[in-house]
Amino acid sequence: MNNASFIVAEMACSHEGDLDLAKNLKPLHRGELEITSLNEKYLLYGQLELQLLGRGYVWLDSGTYDSLLEANMFVKSIEQSHGHKVACLEEISYKNGWISKLELVNLSTNLKNNEYGEYLIKISEDLV
């Protein structure tokens, strides 16, 4: 597999050594620092981990207004056609046993008057 087959999907999490490494970064041509530059430092020091994601994962760029809108429309299409929310943290937590049914119900109570809250209630009733 060639390098063009990979995407670096980053999650911005603060790490103890970030500030020390970031102090030595140089702004790119736009005058901005990039998280990718920090990742390159971690790679250089052997502190970067690669995890290949299998089928069913998708990368949605949201760095511009247009790409954010496209990502939104893609997610909406998936949710409508499959009847499930994409990346519903409460659902993921419940299905993995990280929160109980009671905790899920409590979380949905404040949201019961909108579509998301209704979805959580359906999950707690095992209707989804």
71 C-beta neighbours (distance < 10 Å), count: 16
Say if pTM beats, i.e. exceeds, 0.85. no
- Give tens-digit pLDDT for 5-59: 666 666 556 667 777 777 788 888 877 777 778 888 888 888 777 777 788 888 8
73 token code pair: 């429309």
Q: Of 2-16, 60-74, 89-103, give the lowest mean pLDDT range.
A: 2-16
Q: What is the separation of C-alpha 37 from the centre of its chain, rounded to a whole number of angstroms?
A: 20
Burial 20-54 (b: 16+ CB within 10 A, else e): ebeeeeeeeeeeeeeeebbeebeeeeeeeeeeeee
